[in-house]
Structures are given as structure tokens and as C-alpha cells.
Chain A
Amino acid sequence: MKSYLSLIPVCAKTHRKQNRMTLLSIIFSVFLVTAVFGMADMEIRSQKLQAVSRYGSWHIQIHNLPKEDAALIARRPDVTLSSWYNILNYRVREDYFIGGKRAAVCGIEPSMLSIMEYELTEGNFPENDSQIILTNSSKELLGAKLGDPVTLTIPGGGTLTYTISGFGMDTSAAMESDSIISFLPLSAFQSLYHLVHETAEDSDLVYYVRFSEHCNIRKSIQDVKEQFRLNEDQIGENTALLGLMGFSRDSYMMGLYAIAGVLFLLVLTAGVLMVTSSMSSNIAQRTEFFGLLRCLGAAPKQIRRFVRLEALNWCRTAIPVGVFLAVVTVWGLCGALRYLSSMYFAQMPVFGVSLPGILAGILTGLVTVLLAARSPARKASSVSPAAAVMGNADTAQPIEKSVFTPNLPIELSLGIRHALGRKKNFLLMSCSFALSILLFLSFCAASAFMDHAITPLRPYTPDLTIVSPDSACSIDADLAAEIADCPGVKRIFGRSFAYHVPADLLGQKKEIMLFSYDLQQLNWAEEYHYVLDGDLSKMTEEGNYVLAVHEQTEAEPSLQTGDVIHTALGDVTVAGILSHCPIDGTSDMERLICSEDTFRRLTGETGYTVLDIQLTRKAADEDINRIRTLAGDQMLFCDQRLGNQDAKGAYWAFTLFLYGFLAVIVLIACFHIVNSISMSVSARMQQYGAMRAVGISCGQFIRMIAAEALSYAFFGCVFGCFFGVPLHYLLFSRLVTARWGTPWSVPYFALALIFLVVAAASGAAVLQPARLIRRMSIVDTIHSR
């Protein structure tokens, strides 16, 4: 032995069992932080790719920028790419057509393709003003190929002919609107723009800038603003991308950062508390050992050093294990995400290693252990040398008063006393439980945010939609039957619409939108609990029954079940109220849903306005083309598969993250309760030995330990609710109420769930000590000192 510190590994070997819980606590803390940071890193990478593919990789866009200033900006060392850009017919509602299909026309420079991360799948960027790039779908829609001429029809009927120089990726917006996106070189676009907007002085070009990722983008933006005297209205930021890069000043993003920071601190505190309580119990069990060291001449400072180094010695095993487990977990989760949404997470690395995650884990392990070791080290160093000699180390902190409760059985009285007896320990334990509850409630608020922010796909969400161009009931029911038989079609359902029907709504003259639901759609409303009030069975009856729609964001419902509405088509009776429907409402037009039979009876129309088609997983592009052909050119054809994939992917990602994190928090709470009770029992083993000798039975023991566990849990729940409910309110108000207006309510379900978990964990916490006590040798325990 070179120094007294060489005792550390020797002690570690001897006290392997006692150290196990402390080791597990450190592993758990490291694992948690590494996994959370790792997954956040992977998610940010994936979200960045997503944001880039959706909005492009530009950082700012500048309106009304003089050309000279643009040239100066392009020469800045912190600017990697810049380009002018504008688009005509962005919403694809104006009369721009290419080969009979609606089209949007973009004017770009070659660098814009890189800024937008837009790839040409075939051909090249136009070399002159007579060339054009089209999206891939035009190959199918127009039967076009490279070098073919295409004619662009502009509003007013003018035509321009271009030669196709390349094809680029499809976008979800283009697919959804069944339109073509075209790209012209800037000079050709400007000519076109002036042709369409004859009086316009310039072509409203916007300058897009991408900064180097290695510079302080926030500072660069400020510099550009000041240098070129740009006002706030002139400059727009790619908030999504900047937010993901940590450079957003958007108040909402700043709020999210702050919340992420608070949650991280809470997790870190939970880790510190967990490790501290494990270490304190570990030290408490070895008080005499430290007393002996003091007897032999060790200074308090040396004891503190001993405890700290012992803790760091645990890190040698715990940190690599925690990091390894977290990396494997991250791999598993990334793999699961890719499986769940191969499109959305296509570029998520399955075997990616997150350096920030690992560094955060290592740092957390070291900081947690060093912080956690402070109090036990102080405790160990303050052990009196006499304690070791006299063998009464336990009386170092004498109990000041008895809390025996005459009305309670002795074992329950003692159990509660054990919990409340040592104030510091009691506070530490209760606060740990409270912290778990705080974390749980915070994540419940985040979960509410998720439910509002990302709408999961509704059962009626279609993959393809065929719409009558004049919003009339002009889609023949036979077409629906024909499409239903096509390969790749899982389900087809139609809706017939009657817009702007004058009606007397409870004495108020208003217009209504009446549309039909088939049986399938009525069943969904019932199955997915969209029925707020009323009885859907009436919908298939003879009377003219309708369903009103009342969204949660609206104030009071204007219609009630049983109300009779006099419409221009006839009187209808409200049979129920639905919370959701696929059609967005407007304030001046009430939505009423009826059965197909009622619609026919009221309007005399037999066709559909909209046909929604859901596809099977195996549906191929040929199947979709076949449906498109069946629908014909007269109908509007929307392919929503890409958008649906995005929504599904985002929903699954958030669900996995949030509920994964919630599960981890619950696990922390359970682990902590089990660990703490086990430690508490170990620390009192000698006393328990004497009690066994005097005649306490195993059942009484278990009740005593359960009383102790439940005391911590009870006070933990009280403290947790005291601080957690206001925190939930605060987070909910900032995340949800401020954005969507949904009022806060006491999270009874979440509270009930966490109470249940805490009670179950307290129950589980008794199992290990109960086993220990059953196996306990009374003789060895009494004579252990």
C-alpha cells in the first residue's frame, strides 16, 4: 500500500454489495443524461434535415435589398451561399398552367438549389433563358422528358415555350395540389414577371443568405442589419432551422430553450439527490470504519478526500457502463424511429454516436458524484473517533423525542418514526419523490403541448383525394365503386356538399354547409369518441337528422342536440354534436353533417363532391396512376401521402420522446424509492436483529417498512403536488394556453397515475428488505458490532 488512499479499492471489494446501489444510481444518472442528450442530438440532426428539406438551409431572407448591397453581402467571409429568389403562383390558385396542369414558377440562381437543398434527379440547371426545370411528377402527368418543349400558360392566356433542361425532386405541396413546380433562371423569371405584372418596377426578388455554421450566426445577422441599415420588416429568419441550431431569438423558441434548460436541471437534481441519498446511507453504514480511521490519526480533510476519491472510483465503472447503455439505447430508439417512419427519419443515423451526449453524460457523472459526495464526506469526516471505540456510532445524532402513536400498532408507529426521525434524510427522500412528481407533471404539460402541436392522423385522413372542380356533386358514385376495386385501395369514402344554404339558426339568418357522411364515417365518429353529445343511431333513421360540429377552441356551442333548424332545403333536427370533422369551419357558415340518404332526400343530388381514398401499405405508384387515370383530368387529384408521412413521423417522434422520457422519470421514482428503502433497512439491520430476538414477526417487519416507505411517498406526493401543480399550470399556460387558448385544468389523471406509481413502487420497495429480513441471521445481526 502506497498511501491510505490505497484502501479505496480494497474497501470497494469488501463492500461490493453496499456499493451496488450507489453504483446503480450513478449508472442511472449517466445513462439518463447521455440517452436524453444523445436522442436530443439525433432528433435535432433529423429535425435539421427535415427543416432543411422543408424550408431550405438559408438563415435569413432580405426583401427590397439593392443589388449593390446584395453583392457586398455575398462577399462577406461568413456568408457561404446567397441567391435571389421569387415565386409566381405560390399557392397554385392562379391560372398558370404547364401542359394543362396548374403550375408554380420559381426564379432562382444555381446557388439557390444548394440553399434549398434541392436536388436535380436528371439533367442540368438551365443554361439560357429558354430552358426550364420541372418537378419529377411532370414526367407522369405530362409524359415529359429531357429536351422536350413545354408551354407555360400565364393568366390572361399568354403562352411561353421552354425546353426542359432538368427534373427535380417532388415536393409534398406540389403532390398535394397535383401541380407542377417549375424553375427558371433569374433573368427568364424577371422577363416573365414583368410580362405578368406589367406595371411592377422590379420583380420583388428576395435575397436568401446562408451563413457559415462555424460563425456566430446571431452576431452575423445583427452585423448585416446594422451595416445595411435593414429594418425588422425587411429581414426574415428561418426560425425553424435557427432554432434547431440554437440561434433563434424567437420568443417562443426562447421559451422552449428555457423549458428544456429547466427540465435538464430537474433531471440533474434528481440524479444528484439519488446519488447523495445512496452515498449517505452507504457512509452511515460505515460510520465506525471512519471513526476507526480517525482513531488511527486520519485528519477530517483526509476522510473527506477518501470519500470523494471513493466516489470517483465508482465513476470508473459507472460512467462507461452508463454511457455504453445509453449509446445502445439511442441506437435502438433511432432504429425504432426509422422503422416507424422510414421517410421522416430516413437520414437518422441508426448507429450514430452523439459526442455531445457522451460528453454530457461523463460531465454529469463526475459533477453529480462530486456534488453528491460533499455531504457524505462532511458527515464521514465529522465522525468522532470515540464512536469507533465505544461502538455507539449510531448515537452520534441522538433522537430528541419519541413519536410513538398510541392509536397505531407499534410497527406502524415505528415505521413512520423511522421515516420522520432524521429530518435531513426525510427531507432528502421526500424531495426526491417530489422532484420525480415535478418532472412527471412538467412532462405532462409537454405532452399536452405535443397533442396540440402535432395532430396525429385522424382515422378519416385520406392518402388520395378526388375533388369535384366546381365543388358540385359531380363525382359519380360508380367511380367510387370502380376505384374501390383497384389494387392498393384499402378504403374509399365520399362526401357530398351543399354550400351556402340559407338557414334560420335559432332565429338568426345564417348560411350553412351541409355535407354527408357514409356509415363508415359515422362509425369512426362513434369509435373515436368524437361525439360530444347526442345519439348517432338516429342518423340512419328516416327523419332529417344532422350533426353539428363544435371544435374545442370555440367558446360555447351555438347548437344543441334537439335544436330544429329551418333551412332552404327543409327542416333538420340536430341529433348530436361532434368534436372533429374533416372540414374546417368558418365563423359565418355552420357545418352540418347528415347521412347520405338524408342528403339525397334534401338536395336530390346523388353524386359526391369529394372522394377520399386510403391506400394499403403495399400500394405502388402504378396503382396511384391508375386511380388518377380513372378520376380523369376534369377532377382535382390530391396526393397527400408525403404530407401524411411527415405528420405521422413527427407524431411518432414526439410520442416516443415524451413518453420515453415519462417512462424514465417514473423509473427514476421507482428506483429511488426501492433504493432508499433498501438503504434505510440496511442501515438499521442491527436494531432489526434485536427486534427479531424480542419477537417481532416478519409480517410486522414488512408492515413497519411499508409504513416507512409510504411516509416518504406520502410527504413526497404532498410536496410534489404543492410545487408540481403550479409548475404544471405555468408550463401549460406558456406552452398551450398562450398558443391555442385551451384553458388549464388540474391534471387529475396524471396525478392519479403518479400516486399509483409511487404507491406501487413503495410496495415493490418492501419486497427486497422483506427477503433480506427473512434470510437475516438474528445472531449475526445482533453481534455484527
Chain B
Amino acid sequence: MEILKIQHLCKTYGTGESSVAALKDASFTMAKGEFAAIVGESGSGKTTLLNLIGGLDEPSSGEVYLSGQPLFSMREQERTLFRRRNIGFVFQSFQLIPELTVEQNIVFPLLLDYQKPDPKKLEELLAILGLTERRRHLPSQLSGGQQQRTAVGRALIHSPMLILADEPTGNLDSRSSREIMELLTRAAHHYRQTVLMITHNMDLTAYADRVLRVSDGQLTDLGGNRDEKLS
């Protein structure tokens, strides 16, 4: 079932001679429960693509459909609410709220929606994340891996259709990286959530069902399977 549809997405920064085309006519679709990795060199346009898909930035042209809903036809306020309820983000630098505990950070998207978290679901998620013991800790009292697991928990708590992860293991050691990748894989395969991840680490593409490459703003679908190595 198609959940994400990208159509002729373009992003150009600047105007005239100084304009830079960061993304050129990118189109692809993703099915429910699919885990895709985007690879590419620094400055190739992969983060731009992820930001556009997440509705954090506006494209110069093209459209993003999430569950059939055109993201950029919505007004800013609607898009914010849509993002809050349907998209989960995982950032390289965690971006947790330093004033909130692990548990509060995880339920933050629900709190923004004035919803009461389901304690059973929260317990289960904390257990999966391995953070049950650390639930009352503040981000500053956690290791990098634990902070990123908290960030993943925050992306999963409201069961979004799409999880966008921008270099989620960029600041982590190999053990923590593996744990995070297993969590994302589980989200895709166990909970049927669509995951799109940016990575520099070619080894991590092994976790993905599909690999996309961005080079000079051009998107190429490399297709691929798990364990496929890309040069």
C-alpha cells in the first residue's frame, strides 16, 4: 500500500546566477512498512529531500503526498498539526528538550496534542527502547545512545505513518548505532511504519529494504535488498 508519494520535487536556493538547485525533479513512492535509506555525499541534497518530505521546508515545485494528502497544499498551521500526528523525526543531534525527563520527552508529541499517554503502551515502548530504568532521567544524565533511543521513542509514541531519520547514528558508537538501527527496523517491520533514513554509513544500508542515492540533487532509486553493499 502506497503511503508516501513524491512528485517532481525541486528545490532551488537563491535566484539568478547565484541560484543553486539542491534537488532536481525527485519522484518516488514508498509503501507502508517499507524501510528506505538515502545515501549521498555531503551537500548532495539528501537532507533537503528529507526536510521537504517532512514539511519542514517548502519546495520550489512539486508535491509530497502522505497517505494521499498533499502536504504543501495545506496551510502552515494544518501542516504543523499533520506533521505532529503523522510524521516522526529522529535527528543526528537528538534534539531532546533538556528540561524534560526521558518519559516526558517521549510523550511530548502527545502532550502537544493535549492527549493522555496510554501507560501500557508507554511501558512497552520504554521496555523496547531499554529505557525503563532511565525513564526519570534528564537528557543531560544519559549517554548519546540512550538520548538517541529516547528520540526514537518520541518518533514512535504516536504511531506515525512515516518516520524520518537524519543521520540517526551520526553521533553514536557502533553498539549504539546497531541498537538504533534495530529499533528503526522493528518500527518498519513489526509496527508497519514507513521509515526513511539518511546515512553516510554504507554499512547501515544493509538494514534498509531499499536504497536511494542523491547526487548533485538528482535522485536515483538503486532499488536493492537487505545486505546489498553499495560502493
Tell whether A and B belong to one assembly: yes
Asked if A401 is an interface residue, CB under 8 A from chain B, the answer is yes
Do A694 and B84 touch across chains, with their CB atoms under 8 A apart? yes
The complex places the Cα of A395 from the Cα of B138 at a distance, in Å, of 12
Partner-contacting stretch, out of A317-325, A685-693, A719-727:
A685-693
Do A778 and B112 touch (CB < 8 A)? no
Tell me how far the C-beta of A705 lies from the nearest C-beta in chain B, rounded to whole angstroms.
15
A409 touches B99 (CB 8 A): no
Q: A697-B80, A697-B81, A698-B80 are in contact. Are A777 and B57 (CB under 8 A)?
A: yes
Chain B residue numbers with a CB within 8 Å of A367 are none
Q: Which of B76, B83, B99 is within 8 Å of A403, CB to CB?
A: B99
Give chain B interface residues in 38-79, CB to chain A under 8 Å.
47, 51, 54, 56-57, 76-77
Whether B99 contacts A399 by the Cβ 8 Å rule is yes
- A695 with B112: in contact, given A398-B140, A404-B101, A687-B97 (CB under 8 Å)? yes
Query: Are B85 and A695 neighbours in the complex by a CB distance under 8 Å?
Result: yes
From B76, B89, B111, B113, A693 is in contact (CB under 8 Å) with: B89
Question: Which of A290-298, A347-355, A414-422, A477-485 is the contact stretch?
Answer: A414-422
Judge whether B95 and A695 touch: CB under 8 Å: no
- A67 within 8 A of partner (CB): no
Given known A693-B56, A694-B154, A777-B57, contact A404–B93 (CB-CB < 8 A):
no
Partner of A690, one of B76, B85, B95, B104: B95
Q: Which A residues from 655 to 704 make CB contacts under 8 A with B?
A: 686-687, 690-698, 700
- Bound complex: CA A380 to CA B128 (Å): 42
Q: Does A557 sit at the interface, judged by CB under 8 A?
A: no
Q: Chain B residues near A698 (CB, 8 Å)?
A: 76-77, 80
- Beta-carbon contact of A395 and B111 below 8 Å: no
Check if A691 sits within 8 Å of B97, measured CB to CB: yes
Q: Would you call A402 and B100 a contact (CB within 8 A)?
A: yes
Contact with B along A608-629 (1 / 0, CB 8 A): 0000000000000000000000
Least Cβ–Cβ distance between A416 and chain B, in angstroms: 10
Report A-chain residues with C-beta under 8 Å of the C-beta of B57: 777-779
- Alpha-carbon distance between A687 and B105 when the two chains are bound, in angstroms: 13
Q: Is there contact, CB below 8 Å, between A417 and B109?
A: no
Assess whether A692 is in contact with B98, with CB atoms less than 8 Å apart: no
In whole angstroms, what is the CA distance A417 to B104 when docked? 14
B84 near A695 with CB under 8 A, answer: yes
By secondary structure, the A interface counts as helix
B35 to chain A, nearest CB (A): 21
Contact B89–A395 (Cβ < 8 Å): no
A778 to B47, CA, bound (A): 13
- Which residues, 92 to 140 on B, are CB-close (under 8 Å) to A? 93, 95, 97-101, 104, 108-109, 111-114, 138, 140
The residue of chain A having its C-beta at the shortest distance from the C-beta of B54 within the complex is A693
B100 touches A404 (CB 8 A): yes
Please tell me if A551 contacts chain B, counting CB pairs below 8 Å: no
- B138 A398 Cβ-Cβ under 8 A: yes
Query: A401 contacts B56, CB within 8 Å?
Result: no
Whether A414 lies near B97 (C-beta < 8 A) is yes
| Chain B minimum-CB-distance residue to A398 | B140
Residue of B nearest to A399 (CB): B98
For A421, what are the chain B residues with a Cβ–Cβ distance below 8 Å? 99
Chain B residue with the shortest CB-CB distance to A785: B93
What is the bound-complex CA distance between A648 and B41, given in angstroms? Answer: 80
Chain B residues near A417 (CB-CB < 8 A): 99
Contact of B91 among A401, A411, A414, A782 (CB under 8 A): A782
- Residue A476, interface by CB 8 Å: no
Q: Once the chains are docked, how many angstroms separate the CA of A691 from the CA of B93?
A: 13
> A691 to chain B: which residues have CB within 8 Å?
97
Q: Is A519 an interface residue (CB 8 A)?
A: no
Q: How far is the CA of A227 from the CA of B46 in the complex (A)?
A: 96
User: Chain A interface: which size bin?
Assistant: 35 or more
B56/A778 in contact, CB under 8 A: yes
Instruction: Give the Cβ gap from A703 to chain B, nearest Cβ, in Å.
Output: 11
- Closest chain-A Cβ to B106's Cβ sits at a distance in Å of 11
Q: Which residue of B lies closest to A696 (CB)?
A: B112
B140 x A694 contact (CB < 8 A)? no
A779 touches B104 (CB 8 A): no
Residues of chain B contacted by A391 (CB below 8 angstroms)? 93
Question: What distance in Å separates the Cβ of A771 from its nearest Cβ neighbour in chain B?
Answer: 14
Nearest residue (CB) in B for A778 is: B56
CB distance from A784 to the nearest CB of B (A): 11
Q: Does any Cβ of B come within 8 Å of A394's Cβ? A: yes
- Please measure, in the bound complex, the distance between the C-alpha atom of A417 and the C-alpha atom of B95, giving whole angstroms: 17
Best-surrounded residue of A395, A398, A414, A782 (most CB of chain B within 10 A): A782
Which A residues, 693 to 743, have Cβ-Cβ distances below 8 Å to chain B?
693-698, 700
Q: Are A694 and B112 in contact (CB under 8 A)?
A: yes
Interface residues of A in 185-209 (CB under 8 A from B): none
Asked if A690 contacts B91 (CB within 8 A), the reply is yes
Alpha-carbon distance between A778 and B56 when the two chains are bound, in angstroms: 6
* Chain A: minimal CB distance from B32 (Å): 21
| Residue in A401, A698, A778 with the greatest tally of chain B CB atoms within 10 Å | A778
Residues on the A chain within 8 Å of B112, using CB: 410-411, 694-697, 700
Cα–Cα distance between A749 and B198 once the two chains are bound (Å) = 61
In angstroms, Cα B109 to Cα A636, docked, is 88
> Chain A, 758-785, contact with B by CB distance < 8 Å: what is the 0/1 string?
0000000000000000000111001101
What distance in Å separates the Cβ of B12 from its nearest Cβ neighbour in chain A? 15
Complex Cα gap A668–B31 (Å): 59
Q: A398-B140, A694-B154 are in contact. Are A418 and B54 (CB under 8 A)?
A: no
The residue that B138 contacts in the complex, of A399, A700, A779, with Cβ under 8 A, is A399
The CA-CA distance from A391 to B112 in the complex, in Å, is 28
Given known A-B contacts A402-B99, A410-B111, A690-B95, A697 and B77 have beta carbons under 8 A apart:
yes
Per-residue interface assignment for chain B, residues 191 to 225, with 1 indicating a CB less than 8 Å from any chain A CB and 0 otherwise = 00000000000000000000000000000000000
Contact among B83, B97, B140, B141 for A695, CB-based, below 8 A: B83
The chain B residue with its CB closest to the CB of A781 is B56
Q: How far is the CB of A466 from chain B (nearest CB, A)?
A: 76
Let me know if A395 and B140 touch, CB within 8 A. yes
Min CB distance, B63 to chain A, in Å?
Answer: 18
Contact with A along B153-194 (1 / 0, CB 8 A): 010000000000000000000000000000000000000000
Do residues A395 and B81 form an inter-chain contact, with CB atoms below 8 A?
no
Point out the residues of chain A lying under 8 angstroms from B47, CB to CB.
Answer: 783
* A687 vs B100: C-alpha distance when bound (angstroms): 12
Query: Which residues of the partner chain B approach A410 to less than 8 Å between Cβ atoms?
Result: 108, 111-112
CB B189 to nearest CB in A, in angstroms, measures 24
**Contact call A399/B56, Cβ cutoff below 8 A:** no
Q: Which residues of B contact A785 (CB under 8 A)?
A: 93
Please give me the residue from chain A that is nearest to B79 by CB atom: A695
Query: B80 to A399, Cβ gap below 8 A?
Result: no
Whether B109 contacts A695 by the Cβ 8 Å rule is yes
User: What is the distance, in angstroms, from A778's C-beta to the closest C-beta of chain B?
Assistant: 4
Q: Smallest CB–CB gap between A550 and chain B, Å?
A: 60
Selected from A402, A418, A692, A696, the residue in CB contact (under 8 A) with B104 is A402
- Is A409 a contact of B97 with CB atoms below 8 Å? no
The CA-CA distance from A540 to B89 in the complex, in Å, is 83
Write out the residue numbers on chain A whose beta carbons fall within 8 Å of the beta carbon of B80.
Answer: 692, 695-698
Residues of A within 8 A of B141 (CB): 398
List residues of chain B with CB within 8 A of the CB of A696.
80, 84, 112
Closest A residue to B136 by beta carbon equals A402
A529 to B177, CA, bound (A): 80
Q: Is the CB of A402 within 8 A of B138?
A: yes
On whether the beta carbons of B140 and A399 are closer than 8 Å, the reply is yes
Selected from A418, A693, A697, A779, the residue in CB contact (under 8 A) with B99 is A418
3 nearest A-B residue pairs (beta carbon): A695-B84, A690-B95, A398-B140
Pull 16 A–B residue pairs with CB atoms less than 8 Å apart, ordered by A.
A398-B138, A399-B98, A399-B138, A401-B138, A403-B99, A410-B111, A411-B112, A417-B99, A418-B99, A690-B91, A693-B54, A693-B91, A694-B154, A695-B85, A697-B84, A697-B112
**B residues touching A (Cβ–Cβ < 8 Å)?**
47, 51, 54, 56-57, 76-77, 80-81, 83-85, 89, 91, 93, 95, 97-101, 104, 108-109, 111-114, 138, 140-141, 154
Give me 9 other A-B pairs in contact (C-beta within 8 A), A693-B56, A779-B57 excluded. Answer: A399-B140, A401-B138, A687-B97, A691-B97, A692-B56, A695-B81, A695-B84, A695-B85, A695-B112
